[in-house]
Amino acid sequence: MRRFHAANFGAQRTHVYVAGRYDRAALEAALRRGFADWAPGPAPTVNPPSLRAGPAVRFVDRPGAAQSTVLLALPAPDPSHPDWMAFSLMNTLLGGSFSSRITRNIREQKGYTYSPGSSVTANRRAAMWVQAADVTTADTAAALETVRRLLAWIKTQPGVNLTNYTQLCARDEEDPRQWLTWAQVSELARQVVAMESRLNYLGGHGT
C-alpha cells in the first residue's frame, strides 16, 4: 500500500478546490503552509487508448428479440483539442438532442425507434462519439443505413459554428419544408454553450 501511494500520489498530481466565502490571500497562505512538506511525487501521466485500424463489427445474437440494440462508435476530438467545441455543437445537431437530424429521421419520420441519441464521451486526451438506439428488429438494417447516410451528409457541410448552426438546423436534406423554430435553435445553442468549458471558442468562431 505504501509503495502504491508513493508511486501514484503527490503534489504534482493534486488540485485543491475551495468554494465559499473566504480571504483568498489568507487561504492560499494556509494551504501552502499545510502542504509545504508534501513531496512532489510522480508527474501526471497521460495514457490515451490506442486506436484500432479499420472498422470493426460486433454481433450479440438474441434470437426472437423484438428489438435490436444498436451502438455505433467513432473516435472524436477530446476536450483539449481546438475542435472540441465545434464537434460538441455538431453532435447536438446530428444526434445529441430531441430535435437532431438522426432523432427526427429514425424516430419522428420513420418510427424505427423510440429513444435514439448520440453523445460524446470524453476522457483525458481521448474521446468517443456514440450513437445508440433500440430499433425494431425488422428495421435494423434500414435504421443503420439511415444513420450511415446522415453521417456522410454531415461531412459535406461547412464547419459548424454558432453562426451557421441555425442555418444547418433549419435546413432538412430530405424535405426542405421542415423547419426548426428559432426558439428551438436558440435553446440548443444555449445548452451547448452552457455545458462547455472552452468558451474562448466563441471569440473566433461567430456569436
Q: What is the pLDDT of residues 29-70, one digit of tens each?
A: 999 999 999 888 888 877 777 877 778 888 898 899 999 999
Report yes or no on 87 lying in a domain. Answer: yes
Q: What is the pLDDT of residue 177?
A: 37
pLDDT in tens, 149-172: 998 888 887 665 555 555 555 444
Report yes or no on 122 lying in a domain. Answer: yes
The answer to whether 113 and 143 are in contact (CB under 8 A) is yes
pLDDT (mean) for 95-110: 90
Report yes or no on 165 lying in a domain. Answer: yes
Nearest to 70 by CA among 100, 114, 109, 108: 114
Q: What percent of the chain has pLDDT over 70?
A: 76
Report yes or no on 45 lying in a domain. Answer: no
Report yes or no on 178 lying in a domain. Answer: yes
Would you say the C-alpha torsion 5, 6, 8, 14 has a positive or negative sign?
positive
Report yes or no on 177 lying in a domain. Answer: yes
Q: How far apart are CA 44 and CA 169, in angstroms?
A: 41
Nearest to 57 by CA among 155, 144, 146, 135: 144
**Greatest CA span in the chain, whole angstroms?**
68
Q: CA angle, 83 as apex, 79 and 87 as ends, to 5°?
A: 85
Q: How many domains does the chain have?
A: 1
* Domain containing residue 171: 67-203
Which CATH number goes with the domain that contains 119? 3.30.830.10
The chain-wide mean pLDDT, for the chain, equals 78
